[in-house]
Amino acid sequence: MKVLVTGAAGFIGFHTAKALLERGDQVVGIDLMTDYYDVDLKKARLSVLEEFVGFSFYKTDISKQDDVFSVILEHQDIEYIIHLAAQPGVRYSLENPYAYIETNVMGHLVMLEAALKCPDLQHFVYASSSSVYGENDRLPFNPDDCVIRPVSLYAATKASDELITRTYSHLHKLPATGLRFFTVYGPWGRPDMAAYSFVRDVMNDTPIKVFNHGDMRRDFTYIDDIVDGILSVLALPAAVGEVSKDELTVNNDHVPHRVYNLGNNKTECLKDFIEIIEAATGKKAQQVMEPMQKGDVKETYADITLSRKVFGFEPKVSLKEGMTRFVAWYRDFYNC
């Protein structure tokens, strides 16, 4: 089958595209190769994908409709879209808010319009985020919780994507699924995220900033578990047309749009996370205590009951094992 993956040179997009190619699917990749973080890392991911004959790549801005539509015209047999391109990062959304609206809102709309132009399309799967839960104080976070209290523009764009997609799904009977990812980490990961930057800094004897004086908790999810979740749900678009009673209990919605959590269902404190990094690198972290950052939430914790029930999502990799694998990749990739 043919799958369009946006953000294919990004962390999650790269792993997803690679898994699809390894099982023999054709992948059309789109990415703008933005310089939000090291472009060489994106190029290195891309060179791995380019080894596969089934991979074609377009350096395209998803917010430019003509450019995206011309890719779609070339590939009228696309059956699935996995839309992962975004301007990520909670903190950077205070510095450059326009990038978030352009890519995450306008770009998302363009991708929905593109989906309508694919005659064989079976399913539109897109990245949402745990950040949509914002000031939600009911733990663990449940997809049924109301998500109208975001604390960053990034979160607001992701919550908007869910609303816009639900509308398209309603208007055009588009089977669509939003996945709320919880702090994804692993080999080829994102340098702006703690799992990567803490390892880099600890290995270079550079102090790390510990926000909210260490009083933070995160539900960390290993990349392979995320990819398993994406591929499982991809095969299960919500039914269009008559809705069974069973279907109605999922998201309580008669429209073929679903939202699920993809998390580890285990919330870890920052102190333990740093100790795991110290053990994996064999070095002591120099910690500088800092106050809470604007836009951040104190804790994330995924309720994955629904994801388990509907598509058998079962995270397998513990934080200790996952960080050991990450450090091994880091040493090998950077030859250190």
Ligand X SMILES: NC(=O)c1ccc[n+]([C@@H]2O[C@H](COP(=O)([O-])OP(=O)(O)OC[C@H]3O[C@@H](n4cnc5c(N)ncnc54)[C@H](O)[C@@H]3O)[C@@H](O)[C@H]2O)c1
Catalytic residues: 154
Pick the binder of ligand X from 2, 3, 4, 10 (CB under 6 A). 10
Asked whether the beta carbons of 35 and 13 are under 8 A apart, the reply is no
Name the CA dihedral angle for 108, 111, 115, 116, rounded to a multiple of 10 degrees: 80
| Residue 261 burial by Cβ neighbours in a 10 Å radius (0-12, 13-18, 19+) | buried
Of 185, 176, 184, 36, nearest to 108 by C-alpha is 176
Backbone angles phi and psi of 221, in degrees to 5: -125, 125
Nearest distance from residue 188's CB to ligand X, in Å?
Answer: 9
Q: What is the C-alpha radius of gyration for the chain, rounded to an integer number of angstroms?
A: 19
Pick the binder of ligand X from 32, 109, 210, 280 (CB under 6 A). 32
Pick the binder of ligand X from 4, 7, 225, 306 (CB under 6 A). 7
For residue 146, give both structure tokens. 């109301």
Which residue shows structure tokens 């509907």? 310
Nearest distance from residue 126's CB to ligand X, in Å?
Answer: 8
Q: What x-and-dash track marks residues 288-317 binding ligand X by CB under 6 A?
A: ------------------------------
Q: Which amino acid is at 111?
A: M
Under rule CB under 6 A, which residues in 175-194 are in contact with ligand X? 181, 183-184, 190
By the rule CB under 6 A, 86 interacts with ligand X: yes
Please identify, using beta-carbon distances, which residue of 30 and 72 lies nearer to ligand X: 30
Q: Which residues of 103-118 are buried (b: 16+ CB within 10 A; e: fewer)?
A: bbbbbbbbbbebbeeb
By the rule CB under 6 A, 107 interacts with ligand X: yes
Beta bridge partners of residue 26, listed in sequence order: 2
By the rule CB under 6 A, 84 interacts with ligand X: yes
By the rule CB under 6 A, 9 interacts with ligand X: yes
Using the rule CB under 6 A, give the single segment among 26-34, 164-172, 278-286, 320-328 that binds ligand X: 26-34
Question: Whats the size of the chain, residue-wise?
Answer: 336
Residue nearest to ligand X (CB): 10
Please identify, using beta-carbon distances, which residue of 9 and 208 lies nearer to ligand X: 9
Using the rule CB under 6 A, give the single segment among 82-90, 113-121, 139-147, 241-249 that binds ligand X: 82-90
Pick the binder of ligand X from 58, 72, 88, 257 (CB under 6 A). 88
User: What sign does the dihedral 306-307-311-317 (CA atoms) show?
Assistant: negative
Asked whether the beta carbons of 32 and 6 are under 8 A apart, the reply is no
Binding site for ligand X (CB under 6 A): 7, 9-13, 30-34, 42, 61-63, 84-88, 103, 107, 127, 129, 181, 183-184, 190
